[in-house]
């Protein structure tokens, strides 16, 4: 039996059920809607991880319990080289904890903001690795719905990893989804237009990301929600005047393929069984050794400088200046009475279950959170909810989710963890988990 001493006098059973006492808390590296992300070290294995912790009270106030449970369940299903994978999950009286692969290379938004130009071969490599991740998720019946530079993290070697499954869902084989979720600037036309959508929306978002990385601007934009929506739905795809200096003809052809408004002819979507094969065969990816790439044996053309902080260092100041209550190890109340708990706290207690990747087999919760929604355009649908900035311009990279509309078959507090829309605060866009 492994034992180690921590801040309390009681020994910690490192072979028992995982909890916060199994980890040493290191620096804070990210901040999100309900909590923070910090680096932790597992006391027994000495491995470093990212600890994402969710404040239960804030989570309940934002009506986000079902989404947190759903994210927890979806992450248990996933294990892929280009995903930020879940390693442990547990809770105490105040927080729910996700222990994830640590990514030390920063997110793509961080690098996009700091690099004058990202070479085409780098963007092609990242796009290929992201294609592998998306293809895997779609085979698991998962649609991410929020692919954007903020949600792609680099490890120390320069490989990309998809993160933040807060609005991801199991897609239905039988019916299309109609709820609006994701970040508006990266949403496919069929999402914004309430036309019904499935996994093909992730390939559109990937196209927007690749375009933005290459040209430092997005293909469709607007200073207001209505103008951005119109641009995504109607505007012709126009390459920048100097596009040929930054991207080859075959690269531009791939971008046109991803940004095809018809999901049936979109690159990666042509035929149900095509998916990644459609992308592998595109001339832009002719130089990619896909077998080596998917084994992580391919050498990334961009390696982040991990001697520097690849994230906003101000997150640590919040606790140092006591702006926020610091995270501490705390013992759980013994034998909580579930019957006397508020319904939301009880739901977290019962459904945010303990996970330990060294002891538990990954399992699928499908179809428990499979939403059943009606397909087709609804003329009386509510307008898209968009977080507005102080100047009343759109925050195009903030994650948004539409509330349930009358007539949709699920309630806002669905205990099954199904697709349960809730309004996301603008700070969601900075929920950055660190990288390996």
Domains of the chain and any CATH numbers: 3-104+310-356 (3.30.200.20), 108-306+373-430 (1.10.510.10)
The pLDDT of residue 133 is: 97
pLDDT score, position 314: 54
Does residue 188 carry a pLDDT above 90?
A: yes
Is 50 exceeded by the pLDDT of residue 227?
A: yes
Q: Using CA atoms, how far apart are residues 413 and 418, in angstroms rounded to an integer?
A: 9
Answer with the residue of higher pLDDT: 165 or 326. 165
pLDDT at position 255: 98
Confidence of residue 313 (pLDDT cuts 50, 70, 90): low
Q: What is the pLDDT of residue 404?
A: 34
Q: Is 52 annotated as a binding residue?
A: yes
| Angle at CA of residue 28, ends 26 and 34, nearest 5° | 125
User: Once rounded to an integer, what is the mean pLDDT over residues 177-196?
Assistant: 93
Q: Is the pLDDT of residue 166 over 50?
A: yes
Nearest to 399 by CA among 29, 203, 161, 150: 150
Q: Check 55, 101, 107, 146 and give the catalytic one.
A: 146
Residues 355 and 75: their CA atoms lie apart, in Å, by: 10
Q: Is the pLDDT of residue 413 over 80?
A: no
* Closest alpha carbon to 17 in 112, 76, 88: 88
Q: What is the pTM of this model?
A: 0.81
In the predicted structure, residue 323 carries a pLDDT above the cut 50: no
Most confident of the following: 85-94, 321-330, 372-381:
85-94
User: Can you give the pLDDT at residue 34?
Assistant: 60
Query: Order of strands, edge to edge, in the sheet holding 86-91?
Result: 23-31, 36-42, 48-55, 95-101, 86-91, 355-356
**Mean pLDDT value across the chain:** 80
pLDDT at 32: 63
Q: Kindly state the percentage of the chain with pLDDT values over 70.
A: 75
Identify the DSSP state of 409.
Answer: S
Query: Would you say residue 378 has pLDDT above 60?
Result: no
CA end-to-end span of the chain, whole Å?
29
For residue range 247-290, list pLDDT tens digits in order: 999 999 999 999 999 999 999 988 655 678 889 999 999 999 99
The residue ranking higher by pLDDT, 221 or 390, is 221
Question: Which of 248-257, 299-308, 348-357, 399-408 shows the lowest per-residue confidence on average (mean pLDDT)?
Answer: 399-408
- What are the pLDDT digits (tens) for 104-159? 898 999 999 999 899 999 999 999 999 999 999 999 999 999 999 999 999 999 99
Answer for the pair 247, 110: CB distance below 8 angstroms, yes or no: no
- pLDDT range class, residue 5, cuts 50, 70, 90: very low
In this predicted structure, what is the pLDDT of residue 343? Answer: 87
- In the residue annotation, 92 being an active-site residue is answered as no
Check pLDDT > 80 for residue 409.
no
The two structure tokens encoding residue 353: 């279950």
Given this model, what pLDDT does residue 116 score? 84
Rounded-to-integer distance, Cα 154 and Cα 161, Å: 6
pLDDT for residue 301 is more than 80: yes
Place 327 in a pLDDT band, splitting at 50, 70 and 90.
confident
pLDDT at residue 98 tops 90: yes
Res 416 pLDDT > 90: no
DSSP assignment of 110-152 equals HHHHH-S---HHHHHHHHHHHHHHHHHHHHTTEE----SGGGE
Helix/strand number for the chain, H first, E second: 13, 14
pLDDT class of 361 with cuts at 50, 70, 90: confident
Per-residue confidence (pLDDT) for residue 400, from 0 to 100: 74
* Calpha distance 57→192 (Å, rounded): 31
Lowest average pLDDT, out of 154-163, 168-177, 222-231, 332-341, goes to 332-341
């Amino acid at each position: 039996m492994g034992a180690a001493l921590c801040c309390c006098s009681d020994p910690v059973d490192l072979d028992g059920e995982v909890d916060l006492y199994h980890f040493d808390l290191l620096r804070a590296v990210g901040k999100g809607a309900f909590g923070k992300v910090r680096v932790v070290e597992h006391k027994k294995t000495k491995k470093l991880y990212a600890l994402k912790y969710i404040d239960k009270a804030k989570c309940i106030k934002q009506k986000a319990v079902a989404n947190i449970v759903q994210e927890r369940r979806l992450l248990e299903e996933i294990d892929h080289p280009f995903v930020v994978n879940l390693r442990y999950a547990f809770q105490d009286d105040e927080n729910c904890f996700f222990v994830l692969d640590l990514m030390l290379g920063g997110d793509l938004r961080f690098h996009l903001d700091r690099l004058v130009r990202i070479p085409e071969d780098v963007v092609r490599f990242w796009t290929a690795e992201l294609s592998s991740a998306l293809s895997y998720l779609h085979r698991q019946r998962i649609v991410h719905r929020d692919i954007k530079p903020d949600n792609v993290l680099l490890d120390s070697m320069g490989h990309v990893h998809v993160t933040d499954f807060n609005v991801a869902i199991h897609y239905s084989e039988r019916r299309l989804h109609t709820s609006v979720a994701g970040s508006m600037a990266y949403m496919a036309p069929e999402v914004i237009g309430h036309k019904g959508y499935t996994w093909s929306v992730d390939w559109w978002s990937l196209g927007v990301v690749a375009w933005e990385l290459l040209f430092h601007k997005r293909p469709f934009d607007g200073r207001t929600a209505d103008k951005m929506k119109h641009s995504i739905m109607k505007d012709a795809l126009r390459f920048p005047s100097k596009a040929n200096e930054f991207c080859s003809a075959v690269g531009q052809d791939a971008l046109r393929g991803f940004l095809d408004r018809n999901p049936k002819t979109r690159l990666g979507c042509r035929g149900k069984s095509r998916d990644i094969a459609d992308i592998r065969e595109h001339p832009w990816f002719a130089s990619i050794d896909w077998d080596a790439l998917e084994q992580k044996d391919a050498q990334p053309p961009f390696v982040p400088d991990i001697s520097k902080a690849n994230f906003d260092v101000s997150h640590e100041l919040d606790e140092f200046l006591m702006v926020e209550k610091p995270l501490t190890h705390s013992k759980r109340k013994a034998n909580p009475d579930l019957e006397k708990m508020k319904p939301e706290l009880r739901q977290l207690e019962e459904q945010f279950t303990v996970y330990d990747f060294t002891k538990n087999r990954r399992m699928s919760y499908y179809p428990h959170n499979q939403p059943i929604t009606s397909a087709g355009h609804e003329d009386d649908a509510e307008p898209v909810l968009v977080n507005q900035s102080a100047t009343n311009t759109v925050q195009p990279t903030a994650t948004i989710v539409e509330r349930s509309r009358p007539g949709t078959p699920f309630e806002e507090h669905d205990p099954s963890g199904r697709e349960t829309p809730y309004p996301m605060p603008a700070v969601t866009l900075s929920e950055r988990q660190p990288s390996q």
